[in-house]
Amino acid sequence: MPLVPMRQILDEAAKGGYGVGAFNVNNMEQIQAIMEAARETQSPVIIQASRGALKYSKMIYLRNLIQAACEECPEIPLAMHLDHGNSPETCKQAIELGFTSVMMDGSLGTDGKTPNSYEQNVAVTREVVELAHAYGVTVEGELGCLGGIEDGHGAGIAADDTDHLTDPAQAEDFVAQTGLDALAVAIGTSHGAYKSMRKDPKTGQMLPPALAMDRIHEIHKRMPNCHMVMHGSSSVPKHLVDIINQYGGKMPGTYGIPIEQIQDGIKHGVRKINVDTDSRLAMTGAVRKVLFETPEKFDPRDWLKPARDAAYQVYKDRMIAFGQAGHAKDYKPITLDDMKKVYGKK
């Protein structure tokens, strides 16, 4: 089965009322772990590469690894997505290499830091929609800015800043003006393992990040057919951070997005859920444990295999929690050429 346009995976998720995990990858082990979990749970899935990933591994290596996953698991609907594309040129490069979906993150300028004006965001997103749809490729855009900075990406917005959250009325205009397929919303999440700065004043305990779920509810009310995307959706499970800290790591004060909040989003139109950090945590903990317990080991396979197994468990848990499990065989996947015809009719 060829790679599937992401739009079909999201349309089917909307019909079935579930969400689909979009997992960031940088290497073969993560891709294999995702596919093993998808196979076991019979889940459609989205594999995505950030610009950081492309810098680390090069686009062509990741493209070929994901292509291999697709050939090895022909029964799994799989979309290959560019995460946080920063320019039409990067998106074009991905499209030409065979990515079936691209994100044009026009919320920030090409430096990945400075917020764009609304007009700039509309113009650059529309440009990519015109380009991508001519190939049958799906486009995700973003309105509003995520909190924090992760690996140089992000506007560095404070967790309690509400000025950069997605405005539902503007979202309606943005979707109409750009013709995008999926809308990434800013509701107070941020990338990475430290998503909350809030502390209970009495106990000093960390509190969950205050997410503006009402914005998702409102956008869904205004546009029931709009597929929303939640970035920064790792849950940062305590047991994974504990393993890291137990074996020499130092990660105090981490906090993620509770699964129940993501599930509430899914009930209100969230179809794509971006998860990267949780897999990083699982793999790092597993590697630390092996090297700590068996310091004589030096074959990378001795720590890459446990790392892959730990990532697999995260992906599997998320596939079940998001509801995509069991839906791999619900529909007959279409091709980019089929999708091109659909866009041609609009």
Half-sphere exposure of 166 (CA within 13 A, CB side): 33
Q: How far is the CB of 305 from ligand 13P (least distance, A)?
A: 23
CA–CA separation, 52 vs 98, rounded Å? 19
Q: Which is nearer to ligand G3H, 29 or 218 (CB)?
A: 29
Q: How far is the CB of 283 from ligand G3H (least distance, A)?
A: 13
Q: Does 231 bind Zn ion (CB under 5 A)?
A: yes
Q: Does 83 bind ligand G3H (CB under 6 A)?
A: yes
Question: How is residue 324 written in tokens?
Answer: 């995509």
Q: Which is nearer to ligand 13P, 83 or 167 (CB)?
A: 83
83 catalytic? Reply is: yes
CB 187 within 8 A of CB 215: yes
Of 63, 126, 133, 153, which lies in the binding site for ligand G3H, with binding defined by CB under 6 A?
153
Long-range contacts of 301-309 (CB under 8 A, 24+ apart): 304/29, 307/29, 307/282, 307/283, 308/29, 308/30, 308/32, 308/33, 308/283, 309/33
Stretch that binds ligand G3H, among 34-42, 115-123, 150-158, 257-265 (CB under 6 A): 150-158
Binding mask 258-277 for ligand G3H (x = CB under 6 A): ------------------x-
Binding mask 54-93 for ligand 13P (x = CB under 6 A): -----------------------------xx---------
Q: Look up residue 110 and give its amino acid.
A: T
**Could you identify the residue written with the tokens 């698991």?**
73
> Shortest CA distance to 251 belongs to which of 275, 207, 278, 281?
281
Q: How far is the CB of 90 from ligand G3H (least distance, A)?
A: 13
Q: How far is the CB of 231 from ligand G3H (least distance, A)?
A: 7
Number of neighbouring beta carbons within 10 Å of residue 170: 14
Which residue stretches of the chain are H helix? 6-16, 28-41, 51-57, 59-72, 88-97, 118-133, 168-178, 213-222, 238-246, 259-267, 277-293, 300-322, 336-345
Q: Does 52 bind ligand 13P (CB under 6 A)?
A: no
CA–CA separation, 230 vs 266, rounded Å? 10
Indicate the pairing of strand 101-104 with strand 20-24. Answer: unpaired
Stretch that binds ligand G3H, among 36-44, 149-157, 181-189, 308-316 (CB under 6 A): 149-157
Of 77, 147, 209, 232, which lies in the binding site for ligand 13P, with binding defined by CB under 6 A?
232
Q: Which is nearer to Zn ion, 88 or 154 (CB)?
A: 154
Largest CA distance in the chain: 63
Stretch that binds ligand G3H, among 9-17, 147-155, 252-260, 297-305 (CB under 6 A): 147-155
Q: How far is the CB of 102 from ligand G3H (least distance, A)?
A: 14
Of 129, 137, 275, 325, which lies in the binding site for ligand 13P, with binding defined by CB under 6 A?
275
Q: How far is the CB of 154 from Zn ion (least distance, A)?
A: 9
Alpha-carbon distances, residue 337 vs 66, 88, 98, 102, 310 (angstroms): 20, 21, 12, 16, 37
Q: Does 151 bind ligand G3H (CB under 6 A)?
A: yes
Q: Which is nearer to ligand 13P, 41 or 233 (CB)?
A: 233
Q: How far is the CB of 71 from ligand G3H (least distance, A)?
A: 25
What is the separation of C-alpha 136 from the centre of its chain, rounded to a whole number of angstroms?
A: 21
Q: What letters, b where the CB count within 10 A reaches 16 and e where it falls short, cover 274-306?
A: bbbbbbbbbbbbbbbbbbeeeeeeeeeeebbeb
User: Which residues contact ligand 13P by CB under 6 A?
Assistant: 24, 83-84, 191-192, 231-234, 274-277
The catalytic site residues sit at 83
User: Which residues contact ligand G3H by CB under 6 A?
Assistant: 24, 50, 52-53, 83-84, 150-151, 153, 191, 276
User: Which residues contact Zn ion by CB under 5 A?
Assistant: 231
